[in-house]
Amino acid sequence: MTSPTPQQLRQWDNEHVWHPFTAMQAYREEEAPIIERGKGFYLFDVEGQRYLDGISSLWCNVHGHGVPEIDDAIREQLDRISHSTLLGLSSPPSIELAQKLVELSPPGLTKVFYSDSGSTAVESALKIAYQYHQQKSSKSEVRRLFGTVRGAYHGDTIGSVSVGSIELFHTVYRKLLFETVSVPSPAAFHRPENMSKEESIQHCFSEAERVITQNADQMAAFVIEPLVQGAAGILVHPDGYLKHVREVTSRFGIPLIADEVAVGFGRTGTMFACEQEEVQPDLMCVAKGLTGGYLPVAATLATDEIYNAFLDAPSAGKTFFHGHTFTGNPLGCAAALASIKLFKENQILDRVHSNSELIADKLSSLAEHPHVGEIRQKGQMVGIELVANRDPVACYLAEHRIGHLVTLAARKRGVILRPLGDVVVLMPAPAMPPNLVEELCDVAVEAIEEVTASVSLN
């Protein structure tokens, strides 16, 4: 059998593949690279073109592509079995990984519920929290409100969309969603005009306290992306905010769901972002980087307190009736175990620290750029907010697709980026060596300079 030619692939792609989060009409005219293989921090397309992976293949890759230790772990598992179910049965990789995750996670999290994406990890957490209140030993009650932070992104299934609030993604589904109460993001780029930055942060701290307190007896859980709201544009929360939310929720016995899907596995400089504020969540969701970004495995970790509410005679009906077919897939769990081992062996967290400093230094040249509104960074998560005008702040028109243009300009220079609206995102893999991190920053700066100079504002 001969392989299809690049032209055939392009044609079939345009005829048959509906890409996620992709404006298809524009995509079909753009001839995006068709990635055929990866090695280290590079991707290669079917035409043999090489690209630096500047976004960790959508925020999940950790150690690079084709890493022998992870590939071998998957192959060894492949020789045993590719998939068997966790519904009523078990498997060695899923058991070992659960033990490992509990060891690595903030204290108090002792149980691991597997799924297969960040969305399903959050969806599971929401359902667990909801059911928990009805079955807890202290007092059975129905609590149906979830607390959220504005601008949150927790995934694309209807439950995870309900607790999210990114207008562009979520507005169209509004009537399908369940009710939530939200608090203002303490890192919003567009803050009220009459407030200084400090006043606005103070306002957000007190609003969080007020909203949680007022709805305390109805609140099933409070969901938060710890330290960084990723999809909202890499919004970096002020110090102490996560701890504050934990303190207020604890006061009222409200479970805290930490969505570590994006920030987990080293990206902010610690294994989990919660560690930086010594916060112990009641439920914690992990996905993206869990397998080193190789395979779709996710997990929702829970405390004994929550898990115990689901224990009783089978006939009592307290079982968690939820689970996806490929839950705890053995190939994926084997990859995750290998990835976690590499964190220590290759001192990945140290690398994140030095890379973070390097990035901050390289991007400082943009600080005064007339079209850069803000540079936000936590560890190796970076968002560069582009604006038509700095003071007063004026956004680019949506039809300019300014972030997208920067992506195309970077692609010409052999670097893959993907923006969030007008925010240029850099998300190098935690293990990326410094010379490639420098190259990534240099190309991003050049691309931003080229595009902002060429887009006419009239």
Nearest to ligand PLP of 127, 203 (CB atom)? 127
Phi and psi angles of residue 13, each rounded to the nearest 5 degrees, phi first: -55, -50
| Min dist. Cβ of residue 281 to ligand PLP (A) | 13
- Per CB under 6 A, the list member of 147, 159, 226, 230 interacting with ligand PLP is 230
How many CB atoms sit inside 10 A of residue 78's CB?
A: 12
Of the pair 64, 293, the CB lying nearest ligand PLP is at 293
Whose structure tokens read 């399903």?
120
Q: How far apart (Å, rounded) are the C-alpha atoms in residues 259 and 217?
A: 23
Sequence-distant (6+) residues with CB within 8 A of 251 are none
Does residue 403 interact with ligand PLP by CB under 6 A?
A: no
228 is a contact residue toward ligand PLP (CB under 6 A) = no
Side-chain half-sphere CA neighbours of 383 within 13 A: 24
Among 225, 385, 422, 439, binds ligand PLP (CB under 6 A): 225
CA distances (Å), origin 72, targets 28, 66, 77, 337: 37, 10, 9, 12
Residue number with the smallest Cβ distance to ligand PLP: 118
123 binds ligand PLP (CB under 6 A): no
Contact between 231 and ligand PLP per CB under 6 A:
yes
Interacting stretch for ligand PLP, rule CB under 6 A, among 95-103, 113-121, 270-278, 330-338?
113-121
- Binding ligand PLP by CB under 6 A: which of 70, 224, 287, 423? 287
> Which is nearer to ligand PLP, 160 or 215 (by Cβ)?
160
261 near ligand PLP (CB under 6 A): yes
Instruction: Give the range of 92-100, 118-126, 269-277, 442-450 binding ligand PLP by CB under 6 A.
Output: 118-126
Asked if residue 56 binds ligand PLP (CB under 6 A), the reply is no
| Smaller CB separation from ligand PLP, 211 or 284 | 284
Q: Shortest gap between Cβ of 155 and ligand PLP (angstroms)?
A: 4
Does residue 155 belong to the site contacting ligand PLP (CB under 6 A)? yes
Q: Is 281 in the site for ligand PLP (CB under 6 A)?
A: no
User: What is the smallest separation between the CB atom of 262 and ligand PLP, expressed in angstroms?
Assistant: 3
**Rule CB under 6 A: is residue 118 a binding residue for ligand PLP?**
yes
What are the CA-CA distances from residue 17 to residues 22, 116, 195 (Å)? 11, 22, 47
Sign of the CA dihedral running 66, 72, 73, 77: positive
**What DSSP designation does 384 have?**
E
> What is the DSSP code (8-state) at residue 420?
B
| CB of 138 vs ligand PLP, minimal distance in Å | 30
Query: How far does CA 181 lie from the centroid of its chain?
Result: 22
* 154 is a site residue for ligand PLP (CB under 6 A): yes
Closer residue to ligand PLP in complex, CB, 129/366 = 129
Residue 363 within binding range of ligand PLP, rule CB under 6 A = no
Contact status: 259 vs ligand PLP (CB under 6 A): yes
> 330 near 85, Cβ under 8 Å?
no
Q: Is 336 in the site for ligand PLP (CB under 6 A)?
A: no
Burial per residue of 120-132, b for 16 or more beta-carbon CB atoms within 10 angstroms, e otherwise:
bbbbbbbbbbbbb
Closer to ligand PLP by CB, 125 or 410: give it.
125
Using CB under 6 A, pick the residue from 56, 117, 165, 268 that binds ligand PLP. Answer: 117
Residue type, 190: H
Q: Does 119 bind ligand PLP (CB under 6 A)?
A: yes
Is 220 in contact with 133 (CB distance < 8 Å)?
yes
Report if residue 124 touches ligand PLP, rule: CB under 6 A.
no
Question: Per CB under 6 A, does 306 bind ligand PLP?
Answer: no
How large is the angle between the packed helices 330-345 and 68-80, nearest 10 degrees?
150
- Which range, of 94-102, 114-122, 330-338, 353-361, touches ligand PLP by CB under 6 A? 114-122
- Using CB under 6 A as the binding rule, whether residue 423 contacts ligand PLP is answered as no
Distances 273 to 81, 133, 374, 441 between C-alpha atoms, Å = 34, 27, 22, 24
For the chain, give the longest Cα–Cα distance: 69
Q: Quote the least distance from Cβ 323 to ligand PLP, whole Å.
A: 16
- Please name which of 213, 275, 278 lies closest in space to residue 249, comparing C-alpha atoms: 213
372-378 β-sheet, strand order: 372-378, 381-386, 423-426
Please choose, from the candidates 444, 452, 438, 395, the residue with its C-alpha nearest in 3D space to the C-alpha of residue 415.
Answer: 444
Angle, CA of 117, 122 and 128, to the nearest 5°: 125
CB of 60 to ligand PLP, least distance (A): 8
Residues that bind ligand PLP (CB under 6 A): 117-119, 122, 153-155, 225, 230-231, 259, 261-262, 287-288
